[in-house]
Structure 1
Amino acid sequence: MVFSSVPTSSAPGCAPSGYRPASFLDSRTEYRRSGYYEMMSSIACEYGIPVGLFDAMIIRESGYKAGIYSPKNAFGLTQLMPGTAADLGVNRYDVEQNLRGGARYLRQQLDRFGQVHLALAAYNAGPSRVRDGMLPRIAETQAYVDNVLLNWRRLAALPPRATVQVMSELAAVRQQHRARRVTVFSY
């Protein structure tokens, strides 16, 4: 798998996208997702995160269950830990603030590490565990990164083994943002 840099400001051409069912989700998850999709999409764009990436991350984090706790006491759609929520100044029990906190935290990791797979690893395991551009050797984190990227590819309705690529030229036509060429992942 090859990874390269992601944009460090707004997602090129990002506009909140309309809800579209995902064929790989069960009906309960899809129902919950449909209820939060518009808010999630808008917040993702506000923080310069590709909507599909944020959507895929939430699917993995909580399955769009707003009131769910993890065994480690993370809570909500984006599974914010108490300390992380406090650092971000958000109420993790409020759905909108939870989404904003998760988006802001993911944006921080994207800006810090510059690569989607490393940002996802930092989101999951903590930024101190991502060193020298390497994924931590934590099976849970490696599975998390793989699953979020797989979900992102599925949401984009791409065939297995496809390359997801966002070209700055196309993005600039869609919206007037400074953009860079971005290769998210390829096989």
Structure 2
Amino acid sequence: MKRIFQIAILFFMLLLFGVQCTFFQKEEEVSFWEEPVLFDLDEIKKRGYIRAVVDNSSTSYYIYRGRRMGYEFELLRNLASNLGVRLHLIVKSDIEEAFILLNRGQADIIAMNLEQTPIRINYANFTLPLGEMSTVLIQRKSKASIGDFQELDQKSIYIPQGSIYKDQLCFLNQDSTFVLNVVEVAESREELITKVVKGEIDYTVADKDLALVNATYYNELDVSVEVSEKSPVSWAVRTNAPQLESAINDWIFKRTRSGYLATLYAKYFLNSKNSYYRNNSAFSSLAGNKISAYDDIIKKAADKLGWDWRLLASLVYKESGFDAEATSYAGASGLLQLMPVTLDRFGVEDPNDPYQSLMGGVNFLGYLDKFWRERIPESNERIKFILASYNIGHGHVEDAWRLTLKYGKNPQHWEHVSHFLKLKTDPEYYRDPIVKSGYAKGHVAVTYVEDILILYNSYRVLVEP
């Protein structure tokens, strides 16, 4: 009984104080990387999209005024375009979890600033370097701020779980007489920096570039103490994906020579004034919880539909970019870009009034929901039919639904119906007697639905309900 009590006390102390760095520290063995899923570039292209793990930070990936932004995001978007596929993002701060997702085939790239280590080269292959990074200690400026690591004896430094920072700190500590308490937590680098600013913790560490960006708008931050010197940083891919690795390396080589990487780096890391406004705006997912100036009326409208307001916000962004005065070349206007005949049909008297025009669009969406409800009872599937109908007209989507039935596929699954919607540019299909609305660029509507759902997923992850 005494032995059990001692073990319980030890476990509690570890939870409370974290892991103390010692020379004899041993890594826990893992096996998730031993048999990675076979899924290379050819399979990714057949699937049509590539999945990348990113961090939610002011330099990696975030939402600003409805737009997706970030250094890693723009790099990945350019890469995906180069590969001819769409981009799906997975937001994680835990790097160990990211390696697990990679090897299980749930992600294809880890797009973080990763240093190669003897342990990590077992987990994945690393691309050509995208740059160099050093690590610094982040603390508040005060009389008690430290200027030497010897002064950190018995102090706690909080770091993201699975990051390279643990190895770097322990390396500093291994031949020293002082002891660092390294506390790994399931929080991002940016979240820990914010905690330092608020005084909730005293110390964390981060890449120097990220630290300097934060120091431009948090004057109380001291980022002068270096933890490690500059070293190359890369992205990671599965060890059995040579085609993807080669394609990424070729892309990195060409984008480096063209100056694209340097230009993008300057945008996010060297233009501190723009970074300050983006990252501290109420319309940034990093500082506030607003997507647009119309969030309040979008929430009211979404309640009427029974939708997540962030889904409706995604549709509004796709249609108008939250510009209530936007008018298309075809004459569509307002937040949801309704044509004059639709505005009249759904009771909009003043198309320049944001709330009226939005509610007109919502009434139209409600009509489309009723149109599809019996045929598509599952709500998540039905939303895809509604969005496509909003874009191209429900007559064209209904044609695709009929074709799906005719060819023995499942008309309640958007994946099957969208296949036939894309075929409405082919005379063999749009001249079929069961097709009532004729020719249509159905692939445009399919892409439209994908764009909205991808954006909605970003809003759902980064913006609170």
Q: Tell whether the structures are fold-level matches, with TM greater than 0.5.
A: yes
360, 363, 375: which one aligns with 1:101:
360
| Number of the residue aligned with 2:63 | 22
C-alpha distance after superposition, 1:112-148 (max 9, x if no partner): 2230111001011111111224243222211111101
Q: Specify the SS of the correspondent of 2:294.
A: helix
> How far off is 1:47 after superposition?
2.9
| Number of the residue aligned with 1:123 | 390
> How far off is 1:99 after superposition?
0.8
Distance 1:57 1:80 in 2: 13
Distance 1:38 1:150 in 2: 22
Counting only pairs closer than 5 Å after superposition, residues 1-187 of structure 1 correspond to structure 2 as 22=63, 25=67, 30=283, 33-91=291-349, 92-114=351-373, 115-131=382-398, 132=401, 133=411, 134-135=417-418, 136-137=421-422, 138-157=442-461
Q: Specify the SS of the correspondent of 2:370.
A: helix
Instruction: Decide whether aligned partners of structure 1 residues 79 and 50 sit closer, same or farther in structure 2, where only a CA change above 3 A counts.
Output: same
Distance 2:344 2:393 in 1: 15
TM-score scaled by length of structure 1: 0.65
Distance 1:39 1:56 in 2: 14
| RMSD (Å) for aligned C-alpha atoms | 2.5
> How far off is 1:110 after superposition?
2.0
**Corresponding letter in the other structure for 1:119:** I
| Number of the residue aligned with 2:378 | none
Distance 1:139 1:59 in 2: 20
Q: Specify the SS of the correspondent of 1:22.
A: strand
Distance 1:105 1:22 in 2: 28
Q: 1:69·1:76 contact (CA, 8 Å) conserved in 2?
A: yes
Distance 1:52 1:103 in 2: 14
C-alpha distance after superposition, 1:132-187 (max 9, x if no partner): 242432222111111011111111117xxxxxxxxxxxxxxxxxxxxxxxxxxxxx
Q: 1:109·1:119 contact (CA, 8 Å) conserved in 2?
A: yes
What percentage of aligned pairs have identical amino acids? Answer: 26
Which protein is richer in strand relative to its size? 2
Distance 1:73 1:100 in 2: 18
Q: Specify the SS of the correspondent of 2:461.
A: coil
| Number of the residue aligned with 1:181 | none
**Corresponding letter in the other structure for 1:43:** A
> How far off is 1:50 after superposition?
2.2
Unaligned runs of 5+ in 2: 1-46, 48-61, 70-277, 285-289, 374-381, 402-410, 412-416, 423-441
Distance 1:84 1:33 in 2: 26
**Corresponding letter in the other structure for 2:447:** A
Distance 1:56 1:34 in 2: 11
**Corresponding letter in the other structure for 1:22:** I
TM-score scaled by length of structure 2: 0.28
Q: 2:326·2:335 contact (CA, 8 Å) conserved in 1?
A: yes
Of 33-42 and 76-85, deviating more is: 33-42
Q: 2:297·2:355 contact (CA, 8 Å) conserved in 1?
A: yes
Q: Specify the SS of the correspondent of 1:34.
A: coil
Q: 2:292·2:322 contact (CA, 8 Å) conserved in 1?
A: no
